[in-house]
Amino acid sequence: MFDWLIVGAGFAGSVLAERLASVRGEKVCVIDRRDHIGGNAYDELDAAGILIHRYGPHIFHTNSEAVFAHLSQFTKWRAYEHRVLARLADGMLVPMPINRTTVNRLNALSLTTEDEVEAFFSARAEAVPEIRTSEDVVVSRVGRKLYETFFRGYTRKQWGLDPSELDRSVTSRVPTRADNDDRYFTDTHQFMPLDGYTAMFARMLEHPNITVMTGTDYAAVKDKLSFRRMVWTGPVDEFFDFRFGKLPYRSLVFQHETHDREWFQPVGTVNFPGEEVPFTRVSEYKHLTGQVHPKTSVTYELPAAEGDPYYPVPRPENAALYKQYEALADATENVWFVGRLATYRYYNMDQVVAQALATFKRIETAVPRTGDE
């Protein structure tokens, strides 16, 4: 008899498993249908011995002291600031997010102050009465030409939708800068787990009260395991047998390659905003991990309609459908829904950790500890 069954061994499930086991002393069973822990953040050595991320590049960044301190119990860190270049159709490489260097290189200009760059943007920005969509966000800031160069094609490939059909929150993830800062993120903490994500998850789950069963689907064991309460981190619509219809998730195909040379590209990720190639970006892991190796491994990301659910698709009709599932989830006793798929939110890793820690606090208030009931 377990106190808790946790479905999913990603950040949501693993953070909660560790808290329930070590703080409340409860018996926890964590299952995952995949053959490994770590969820989408899973990393492993490939055939050449290079540490790669099976589900695409994961860079940890957060402004939350609490999240950083929490994870620091399970890993040491390697300082890493991610840099991204966009490769245009003519082969030109320019910084992404758009910054002063991007504007200067693209237009053969030599703007030197932030005011000059802001004036450049303002002269091109389109008046948008209400910023609603992902197109509005960009054209209202930098105008249509830069939007078409960097955002329209990339977004169409990534989501199978035009930016005008997507919530503003999607392209709002990427800032526009008037200075020369070429970092992808500006969070106060930007690190990679020193020994990788999987090692960090293994330490989190290594507790006498935690049983981990990988290669185990919930449907196959739900009638065989006995447990009092559950944490669900899989897709919320799956839990309810798609009662209101399927929630759309965007998928990706990851094409992993090893090259017989030391370096493949100048930075961790090169984005391909144009529709002349089917992939959105190429990431080279040694930039992220600091691994020294005579060969190098990269991953191409090819967006796909079918496959594992990687991205909730932020648009109004999907939010409305999710609300229906959320109401069901709220009314389901003894099951806690946590994580990117279970709460249908386009969350980064740190946001999922924060959500799991907040859920743990709510459990502490609402659920008497086993033995105290």
| Contact positions vs ligand UDP (CB under 6 A) | 86, 96, 150-151, 154-155, 158, 170-171, 173-174, 271, 273
28 binds ligand FAD (CB under 6 A): no
Least distance (Å) between residue 301 CB and ligand UDP: 8
349 binds, among ligand UDP, ligand FAD, none (CB under 5 to 8 A by kind): ligand FAD
DSSP 36-96: SSSGGG-EEE-TTS-EEETTS---EEES-HHHHHHHHTT--EEE---BEEEEPTTS-EEEE
User: What's the angle, vertex CA 202, arms to CA 196 and CA 205, rounded to 5?
Assistant: 145
Supply φ then ψ for residue 24, to 5 degrees.
Answer: -100, -10
Minimum separation from the CB atom of position 342 to ligand UDP (A): 18
Report what 94 binds from ligand UDP, ligand FAD, none; CB cut-off 5-8 Å by kind.
none
Which partner from the list ligand FAD, ligand UDP, none does 347 bind, CB cut-off 5 to 8 Å by kind? Answer: ligand FAD
Residues in contact with ligand FAD, shown as a per-residue x/- string from 341 to 360 under the rule CB under 6 A: x-----xxxx-x--------
Task: Give 11: exposed, middle or buried? Use CB within 10 Å, 0-12, 13-18, 19+.
Answer: buried
DSSP state of 294: S
Binding of ligand FAD by 340 (CB under 6 A): yes
Residue from 16, 18, 29, 40 in contact with ligand FAD (CB under 6 A): 40
Residue 270 host element (H or E): strand 269-271
> Which partner from the list ligand UDP, ligand FAD, none does 158 bind, CB cut-off 5 to 8 Å by kind?
ligand UDP
Q: Taking a C-beta distance cutoff of 8 angstroms, is the pair 132, 169 a contact? A: no
Minimum separation from the CB atom of position 361 to ligand FAD (A): 18
Please tell me the distance from the alpha carbon of residue 322 to that of residue 328, in angstroms, as a whole number. 10
**Scanning residues 214 to 273, which ones bind ligand FAD (CB under 6 A)?**
217-218, 233-234, 252
Our CB check for ligand UDP shows the closer of 41 and 174 to be 174
A 10 A CB-CB count for 72 gives: 14
Least distance CB 174 / ligand UDP (angstroms): 5
* Shortest reach from residue 3's CB to ligand UDP, in Å: 35
Tracing tokens 């002269």 back to the chain, one arrives at: 123
Which one of ligand UDP, ligand FAD, none interacts with residue 274, CB within 5 to 8 A by kind?
Answer: none
Q: Which is nearer to ligand UDP, 120 or 150 (CB)?
A: 150
CA distances in angstroms from 154 to 22, 121, 217, 275, listed in the order given: 44, 21, 34, 7
Phi, psi of 30 (to 5 degrees): -110, 125
- Contact residues for ligand FAD (CB under 6 A)? 7-13, 31-34, 39-41, 55-59, 217-218, 233-234, 252, 310, 339-341, 347-350, 352
